[in-house]
């Protein structure tokens, strides 16, 4: 899941420097951290850290795949909840996801696909 994050323009990482080995294992070399944590990350080798804030960014909904077995449909295709339309509508916009767990991989794939 983290290896997909390496394809993104910038990964906002709110965990502390103790998570650096997981980032290195995923080949993530560039992250943004909350401004309050920037000093703690200065001594970590191999990872470029940039202080950032989510203020002013457009928060996107967590992308998901919904299976709706209780609804009759013409196909068995699941419902896809995507933010692609927002990414296409504002090509110069700055966005962020708060996507926990397995949703992080889907969010990374969506951002990569739409060129966010």
pLDDT of residue 27: 82
pTM given for the model: 0.62
- Identify the band that residue 80 occupies on the pLDDT scale cut at 50, 70 and 90: confident
What tens digit of pLDDT does each residue of 41-55 get? 888 888 888 888 888
- What is the percent of the chain where pLDDT is above 70? 85
pLDDT of residue 73: 67
Task: Return the structure tokens found at 24.
Answer: 């290195």
What tens digit of pLDDT does each residue of 9-35 get? 677 888 888 888 988 888 888 888 888
- What is the percent of the chain where pLDDT is above 90? 0
pLDDT of residue 31: 87
Indicate if the pLDDT at residue 115 is higher than 80.
no
Q: Which residue has the higher pLDDT, 101 or 40?
A: 40
Contact 24, 5 (CB under 8 A): no
Sorted by where each begins, the domain ranges of the chain are 1-53, 54-116
Task: Return the structure tokens found at 36.
Answer: 């309050």
Contact 95, 87 (CB under 8 A): yes
Angle at 102 between CA 84 and CA 36, to 5 degrees: 85
């Amino acid at each position: 899941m983290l290896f997909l994050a390496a394809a993104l323009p910038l990964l906002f990482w709110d965990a502390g420097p103790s998570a650096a080995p997981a980032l290195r294992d995923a080949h993530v070399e560039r992250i943004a951290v909350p401004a309050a944590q920037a000093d703690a990350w200065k001594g970590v080798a191999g990872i470029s850290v940039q202080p950032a804030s989510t203020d002013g960014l457009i928060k996107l909904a967590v992308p998901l795949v919904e299976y709706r077995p209780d609804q009759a449909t013409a196909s068995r295709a699941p419902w896809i909840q995507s933010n692609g339309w927002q990414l296409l509508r504002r090509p110069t916009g700055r966005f962020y996801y708060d996507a926990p767990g397995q949703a992080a991989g889907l969010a990374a794939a969506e951002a990569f696909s739409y060129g966010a």
